[in-house]
Amino acid sequence: MTQRIAVVGTGYVGLVCGACFAKLGHSVVCVDRDADKVKALQSGVVTIFEPGLETLVFDQMSAGRLSFTTDTAAAVRGADLVFVAVGTPPEPKTGNPDLTAVLAVTDAVADAAEGFTLLVTKSTVPVGTARRIESRIAGRRAGVDIAVASNPEFLREGAAVADFLEAERIVVGTRDKRALEALKAVYAPLIEKGSVLVATTPETSELVKHASNAFLSTKIAFINEMARLCEKVGADVEMVAHGMGLDARIGPEFLKPGPGYGGSCFPKDALALVNAARDAGSPLSIVETVLAANQWHKHAMVTKIGDVVGGLDGKRIGVLGIAFKSGTDDVREAPSLTIIAELVKGGAIVTAYDPEAMDNARPLLNGISYADDALGVADQADAVVILTEWPEFRTLDFAAMRARMRRPALIDLRNVVKPETARAAGLVLYPLGKPPRA
């Protein structure tokens, strides 16, 4: 059954969800207060890098199922369901999610709703937000028929479209039977294909999102600590991870070492969960330790680089990759930001390259230069460091890279380069969690 949907917010979550809801056959209008952004989207210009998204948006606009506007009230009046997909950045002092934008949308929906309307939070919010929204609506406009539901997203940047259209699970938290039935109708094509519907309370739904991200963060932090231990004892972290992952109770996912986790979700969500648990009088010591371990690991990567080149002061370091992961231009909480800043602080001369994220990085990184291509970071470099696992970095002309370098050190913090490839190019490979390979 076709539903009339308004999605407020056109960032990663809102734009992907809006386009995918349209793909499922619904009539969707996406709302954003940024007039320039909306104008660009109306022209078919997608303002974020996400594989497959631009084509999806264009196709759904052409089919007449997807449109964009700055008029929130009009969008709400014409919708059966309003999905809130605005940002909830951490507050500078507390680290708690800032719900200012979520509550502003709540007020707009309360003011404009006509007839039964379902307000659904897609934004990642603390436990108890649904109750807060319900109370706010009741206090703002008595008698309005608005149901509230939590429906968290589980989208990986770089694979968001596929994650939506091939969802493993759809979590819905609501106390209203009409809301549950409406969301079942929205997701019916996915449920029919095998996506598991988890129907629960708003509080449980809100916690599922934070708990999931905190657990995945824990796996990453754990394998990164194992990588550092492997370097000390001469073991191979990839074989350790392989041996662990064959245990069905553990599984192989998120056991790949790297320079630290980042992005818009894991760091923020883990901190929000820690703060919520403290406020509830039930501290989460494991998650608190994960946050500290991730920060420590990034500093340890700087130490590793310094050890390879014999101190940072005056050394030329080429950096390949700034985005927190491949397949995105997102640099929010990227480990590269901390690592590069510390390299500069230590006196290193840094040249960086990323195929998608340099424009986003420029306002955040001071004292570095940028190359026009991947090989450009190697000019007179004492070491080249791989921080993001972009596929193109696996197949570089490493012999040409070596010819441009002052010293032959390739520090691969993503373990994407094969030892024999580096050796053939005359490079000394310093992988993460493995012995160096000359």
Query: What ranges make up the beta strands (E) of 105-192?
Result: 117-121, 146-150, 169-174
Angstrom distance (rounded) from CA 49 to CA 328: 6
Q: Are 88 and 97 in contact (CB under 8 A)?
A: yes
Same fold, 4-200 and 235-431: yes
Confirm whether 30 is a catalytic residue: no
Neighbours of 417 (CB within 10 A): 21
106 is in an annotated binding site: no
Contacts of residue 161, defined as CB under 8 A and 6 or more positions apart, other chains included, come to 16, 19, 20, 50, 51, 52, 53, 56
pLDDT surpassing 90 at residue 94 = no
Q: Which of 20, 30, 230, 265 is catalytic?
A: 265
81 is in an annotated binding site: no
Kindly give the pairing relationship between strand 169-174 and strand 369-370.
unpaired
pLDDT surpassing 90 at residue 263 = no
Domain range summary for the chain, segments of one domain joined by + = 4-200, 235-431
314 is in an annotated binding site: no
2 is in an annotated binding site: no
406 is in an annotated binding site: no
The tokens 């306002």 sit on which residue?
363
- Is domain 4-200 annotated with CATH 3.30.750.24? no
DSSP string, 5-60: EEEE--SHHHHHHHHHHHHTT-EEEEE-S-HHHHHHHHTT--SS--TTHHHHHHHH
For 350-401, the pLDDT digits (tens) are 999 999 999 999 999 999 999 999 999 999 999 999 999 999 999 999 999 9
pLDDT surpassing 90 at residue 294 = yes
Q: What is the pTM of this model?
A: 0.91
Proportion of the chain above pLDDT 70, given as a percent: 100
Planar angle of CA 69, 70, 73, nearest 5 degrees: 95
CATH superfamily, with its number, for domain 235-431? NAD(P)-binding Rossmann-like Domain (3.40.50.720)
